[in-house]
Amino acid sequence: MSASLDLLERAKVAAAKAYAPHSHFQVGCAMLTAQGNIFTGCNVENASYGLTICAERNAIFHAVAEEGPGMKIATLAVIALGHEFPPCGACRQVIAEFATPEMTVWFLREGKPVSMTMAELLPAGFRI
């Protein structure tokens, strides 16, 4: 669990850097890849809301840019400052693209770290 606490703390640091003037939801993500690298990301909003990028996708895209298209997520943590929730549906689908169904996602519930597998978070994800 110490690795998950480290990722949650890194996600919190990333969330503090979020650009969220529209929703005021500052979200951060930290993830460990199968290669042992840690990547972080924060949400970056835009006045044209469809152009906003979530923290999870920001971190994943950065990891792919660094490790290449074979990048795999070992575990991932997400924090929203002042709020508690798991990744949104769009992010769940993107996470699933780079993870196994058994990969764990960490977030806070009632102030405590909890984890769910991708299979629990996205039981019927899109696959081609």
Over residues 106-123, the mean pLDDT reads 96
Over residues 89-113, the mean pLDDT reads 96
Please report whether residue 83 resides in a domain. yes
Q: Which of 10-30 are b and which e, b meaning 16 or more Cβ less than 10 Å from the residue's Cβ?
A: bbbebbeebebeeeebbbbbb
Could you give the number of structural domains in the chain? 1
Does residue 56 carry a catalytic annotation?
A: yes
What is the β-pairing status of strands 104-109 and 112-117? antiparallel
Please report whether residue 29 resides in a domain. yes
Token pair listed for 44: 């970056």
Domain around 84: 2-121
For residue range 18-34, list pLDDT tens digits in order: 999 999 999 999 999 99
Please report whether residue 128 resides in a domain. no
CATH number of the domain enclosing 117: 3.40.140.10
The mean of the pLDDT values for the chain is 96
Q: Choosing from 9, 56, 110, 120, which is the catalytic residue?
A: 56
* CA distances (Å), origin 83, targets 25, 43, 104: 8, 14, 20
- pLDDT score of 1: 58
Token pair listed for 52: 């906003």
Please report whether residue 127 resides in a domain. no
Please report whether residue 126 resides in a domain. no
Task: Render 84-116 in DSSP notation, one character per residue.
Answer: -----HHHHHHHHHTS-TT-EEEEEETTEEEEE
pTM: 0.94
For residue range 46-59, list pLDDT tens digits in order: 999 899 999 999 99
